[in-house]
Amino acid sequence: QVQLVESGGGLLQAGGSLRLSCAASGLTFSSYAMGWFRQPPGKEREFVAIISRSGAFRNYADSVKGRFTISRDNAKNTVYLQMNSLKPEDTAVYYCAANLAMTMRVSDFTSWGQGTQVTVSS
Q: Are the C-beta atoms of residues 92 and 116 closer than 8 Å to each other?
A: no
Q: How far apart are CA 108 and CA 15, in angstroms?
A: 32
For the stretch 16-39, pLDDT in tens is 999 999 999 999 999 999 999 999
User: What is the maximum alpha-carbon separation in the chain?
Assistant: 40
For the stretch 76-93, pLDDT in tens is 999 999 999 999 999 999
Mean pLDDT value across the chain: 96
Determine the average pLDDT of the residues in 44-63.
Answer: 97
110 pLDDT tier (thresholds 50, 70, 90)? confident
